Amino acid sequence: MTSLLPAAALRDDVLAAARRLLGCELVAETPDGEVRVRVVEVEAYRGADDPASHCYRGRTPRNAVMWGPAGHLYVYFVYGMHFCANVVCLTEGVAGAVLLRAGEVLSDPGVAHVRRPTARGRDAELARGPARLCTLLGLGREHDGVDVLDPASPVRLETGDPVPDADVRTGPRVGVAAGQQRPWRFWVAGSPAVTPYKAGRARTDGPDW
């Protein structure tokens, strides 16, 4: 029987929290049925000392959730097309979050394919990438601030099976130009759902969030 991840596991530095999230399970109640995925890829983001973070320039109404408390979702819209979801970390008042990049489906694959019909039968594509993961779980703007550590929440974060250190890999964050040398992406080696690496390019038209 699985249990909700304790909040204490997310109040540590974002790098430790990102590592801990690997192997955890996200459970969402969708109109098509329950969807459960195993987290296999994440990226850590801090606040004032991380130029790639949405909180780098300070607190705003849009990024307020990133300032705590830990265990809530920070959901944002990107490229005018997709939603991405982060799990907030650190102590309240200190900005930090971990982007949920990819997952492996553990629940009924039939329900998953109904929610992600463009996957065309390929299970590895169902939740590969943060936008696909959000689509599969039905996460949108209305989930910004949802407490995933609350047993009554429509989206919950459970402990799952810990990933051995030997199976964890780290490297630069995908598509990130600012601070791109930081190895703050964590993933499970050998998982077909992990996204391929793509270097970031500096934007000239401002941030996409």
* pLDDT tens-place string over residues 163-201: 999 999 999 999 887 777 899 999 999 999 999 988 866
- The beta strand positions in the chain, using DSSP E, are 25-30, 33-45, 73-78, 82-88, 97-105, 155-158, 168-171, 185-188
Q: Tell me what pLDDT residue 204 has.
A: 38
pLDDT in tens, 120-172: 768 999 999 999 999 999 999 999 999 999 999 999 999 999 999 999 999 99
Q: Greater confidence, 196 or 37?
A: 37
> What pLDDT band is residue 42 in, cutting at 50, 70 and 90?
very high
Domain ranges of the chain: 7-188
Query: Into which CATH architecture does domain 7-188 fall?
Result: Roll (3.10)
Distance (Å, whole) CA 160 – CA 111: 21
Q: Tell me what pLDDT residue 106 has.
A: 97
> What pLDDT band is residue 3 in, cutting at 50, 70 and 90?
very high
Q: Tell me what pLDDT residue 199 has.
A: 83
Q: Tell me what pLDDT residue 201 has.
A: 64
Q: Tell me what pLDDT residue 48 has.
A: 81
Q: What are phi and psi of 144, to 5 degrees?
A: -65, 120
Q: Greater confidence, 87 or 62?
A: 87
